[in-house]
Structure formats: C-alpha cells, structure tokens
Amino acid sequence: MLKLSGKGSITTCDGITRRDFLQAGTLGAIGLSLSKFAALQSLGAVAKGNDERSAIMIFNLGAPSQIDTWDMKPDAPREIRGPFKPIKTNNPDIQISEIFPLHAKIADKFSLVRTCYHTAAAVHDTGHQMMQTGRLFTGGVNTPHAGCALEFLKGRRNELPAHVMLPESMGPTGGNLPHGQDGGFLGKAYDPFVLNSDPSKKDFKVPDLLPPTEIGEARLERRRELRHVVDDAVRNFEGNPGAQLMDSNFSSAYRLMTSVEAREAFDLSKETEKVRERYGMTRFGQSCLLARRLIEAGVRFVTINTFITVFDEITWDIHGSKPFTSIAGMKDIVAPMYDQGYSALIEDLSQRGMLDNTLVANLSEFGRTPKINPAGGRDHWPQCWTVYFAGGGVKGGRIIGKSDEIGAYPVERPVKPGEIVATIYRSLGLNLETHLPGPNSRPYPLVDFGTQAINELF
C-alpha cells in the first residue's frame, strides 16, 4: 500500500537530492516495464466511458447477516427469522430490518441484490479477494482491487490519488491470505493511498500532508527545495517519451506533502459541526464524510473498510460467543453507527447533485447461517447473501434476485462476485472486454470471459 501517513513503500526524506528522485523514478522502481506499457497500448486497454463517474466501496468486513438486515424471513421458524422485525420503507416494494430506520427513509435511492453467492472456502479472506477483485487468487496470481484497476486504466484527475482507502487497510481476519486491497500484479505503483488514521479523532490530520508543528524553518525550507527539485525533474522529462512510462502515483506522492488541494480535501475541519454530527462522530461516520470530500475533490475511487479486523472490535462477525457478539449486540453496537453514516452519505451526495455520478457499493465477503447457533449468533455462510448499490447510474428501489424461504440459497437470479465487480466497472464506464498487462506481461482479462454486469440495476 502507498502510505504517506506511516511506513510505506515510498518514504520522503528531508535531504532528498535530484539524483535520489531520478533513481526513484526509474521504471523498475514503479513496476511498469516497457513490455507492460507496450502491451497496454497494443490491447487498447485505456478504457473509454463516462469519465465523470466515481465510486465509493463500503466493505462490511465481518459479513452482515442477510436475514437480520436486508432479506428478512418473518414467516420462518424462530430459530431462523431471528429477533428483529421488518419495517416498511419509503419504497413500497422494499422492507428491511428495524435496526436500520434511517435506511428505510432512503430505500428509493438504493437497490438490493439478494442472491450473491460463492463456492470457495467459508473464510473471510477468500470472500475479500473475490468481492473486491472479481476473482479468487490462485496459482500465485493476485488480481488488483477494482479501484487499482481503475487507476491503471484512467489515471488520476489531479494531484490527489485516484484511489484512497479509509481508514486503513484490512488487518488479520483468520485466514492469513491476501485480502485483495492492493494493486496485485499491476505492482505497488497502483496500490491505494491508505489513510492509516481515524478521522473521528479530535487531533485527526494526515501527518505527511501537514508538516508537524515542531518542524523548524530549516526543514521547511528543505521541503520547499524538494518541491522545486520534483517540479524541475518533471519539466525536464516532459519532452522525453520515457516520461509517459513514469507512473503518476509515484511522482505525485511527493507533491501531496505540499499540495493545498490535498490538504483541503482531507481537512474535515472545513465541515460544520452540524454536518459532522449528521454523519456521526464515529470512525465509520467520519470516513463516509471524508469519502464525500475526496470524491468532490476529484478522487476516482474510495474504499471504506467498515471494520479493520474481526478480532479486536465488535463487527458484523456475529458468532455469538466471545470475543464476538450476538445478534442482539449487532443491533446495539454496529447497526446504529452504520445506519447513520450510510444514510448521511447518500443524502449528502444527493443534495449536492453528486449521487448520479457517484456509485456507492455496499459489499461483504459472505452472509450468515440461516439457523441461529447455540451462542445466539450466526456463523459463516457464502451460499447466499445481500449486497446493495446506490447512485452511479443505478436505479434505486429495486430488488434483484430472490432467496429461498430461509435465506439459504438463491432461487432466482444467482449472482457471482465477478458480476458484482463487473457492475462497478460498468458504472465507471470501463469496457469489460479490456485486458490488463498481467503476470509476465501477458494480456489478462479485466473480468472473466462471459462475466457481465448486473444490467437490471441500470
């Protein structure tokens, strides 16, 4: 991951020299070889489409129970239906759980896909891979996150990163496998910018974008000199065809430190207290607000991890026994902050006229077992679960697919993870027949052959 707020693959020293910059800027360092660039050009992989579109992926790490949230089964036996009741929404065709009263007020703006499934192992990591990249990692090939592929194909709009991850990347979830939150075979140059900070904290800032308060004038002057070095180097490269091979992620990483545009985008103090409180003064709520600011500033793709790990906090992973929570705990701890943050985001985007051009995808790695376990929770269940979309060309108020009477299996319109990712790509205007330069510079399909977006959503 590209982390300017902590230890990352790129560090900026105060005493950097022109030679250091030029060495760092070589093609080998950024992972984009001549053969890869040539392959990209020959395949026509620079996608064409709606360049105004952006996306926010909210990844519900831990996996919500479909039966207790968006696909309730009130007529099922007690051990299936759970403790919650369905409530009406502002869309007569949709009922959802009573634990999401704010969702109910905006149900006309999002559409549910109730039949997502996969057949891989029921562990968190495999679901993370498939739902964010479209594929299960096999044969040592790690496919890129959708936001990373987007950056590779469309680049940045300005000095801000094309793909930002909030509040940090996924931590351990039990499988010790990659989560699919980086550039994969595209290389480190296409990793997202990872915030690595909690935006709900009173002292929140992006450390490497804002010089520390104790920094001296001498160090400030060296940073100014660094900016001049970078600017000179870029100008010198402009007439050189090799400059096209230089990844913008790398060069603009230096500019981020002194970019007024970047500081403004990350500065939540620019928001009124009323707006911040509307989103909720929680890590998730303020991440949603920051995502809106970043999209507004020109970032193409923002990934929000609702939780970071299933071990150190209460999450959607409701096994019931400690250290996890029960179904009731989900209602009291998880649902309120999630309901508030998501509803505020959708309403804010809509009121600002941004929703039509901003896809908001709420995903998770699997669902939960239909039958409540003896501890009062539900266990892992990849056979059927619900995800949902809003904005970005998606028509709200729709239900795609139907599960059986206990929410265990799809009975109408089953949807694979690859179709979910293809739907994101379609919204962003990417050609699904595009190829990426994969391992050993061989053409690698953006999506598997025959995989289509969920066209009923549009």
Picking from 12, 7, 53, the residue whose alpha carbon sits closest to that of residue 302 is: 53
Q: Please name each of the domains of the chain with its CATH number.
A: 49-212+260-457 (3.40.720.10)
CA distance 419 to 117: 11
pLDDT at residue 201 above 90? yes
pLDDT at 271: 96
Give the SS3 label for residue 32.
coil
- Tokens representing residue 354 in the block: 């941004």
Picking from 343, 345, 283, the residue whose alpha carbon sits closest to that of residue 309 is: 283
Average model confidence (pLDDT) for the chain?
Answer: 86
pLDDT at 225: 65
Q: Which region among 118-122, 321-325, 390-394 has the lowest average model confidence (pLDDT)?
A: 321-325
pLDDT at 51: 81
- Tokens representing residue 199 in the block: 């935006």
pLDDT at residue 436 above 80? yes
Picking from 12, 36, 437, the residue whose alpha carbon sits closest to that of residue 251 is: 12
pLDDT digits (tens, 9 = 90+) for 240-284: 544 444 444 455 556 666 678 888 999 999 999 999 999 999 999
For the full predicted model, state whether its pTM sits above 0.75.
Answer: yes
Confidence of residue 232 (pLDDT cuts 50, 70, 90): low
Name residues whose C-beta falls within 8 Å of residue 175's C-beta, 6 or more positions apart in sequence: 121, 123, 124, 125, 126
Confidence of residue 210 (pLDDT cuts 50, 70, 90): low
pLDDT at 23: 35
pLDDT at 312: 86
Composition of the chain by helix, strand, coil, percent to 5: 35, 15, 50
CA distance 133 to 126: 11
pLDDT at residue 418 above 80? yes
pLDDT at residue 27 above 60? no
Kindly state the average pLDDT of the residues 59-63: 98
Picking from 396, 7, 425, 376, the residue whose alpha carbon sits closest to that of residue 207 is: 7
pLDDT at 260: 84
pLDDT at residue 394 above 90? yes
Q: Which region among 168-182, 207-221, 269-283 has the lowest average model confidence (pLDDT)?
A: 207-221
Kindly state the average pLDDT of the residues 166-182: 95
Angle in degrees, CA 270, 273, 274, rounded to 5: 120
CA 435 vs CA 87, 95, 150, 361: distances in Å:
45, 40, 12, 23
What is the percentage of the chain residues whose pLDDT exceeds 70? 78
Placement of tokens 């940073």 in the chain: 223
Name residues whose C-beta falls within 8 Å of residue 90's C-beta, 6 or more positions apart in sequence: 104, 105, 106, 107, 108
pLDDT digits (tens, 9 = 90+) for 105-124: 999 999 999 999 999 999 99
Picking from 313, 284, 281, the residue whose alpha carbon sits closest to that of residue 202 is: 281
pLDDT at 408: 98
pLDDT at 234: 56
Placement of tokens 């935006």 in the chain: 199
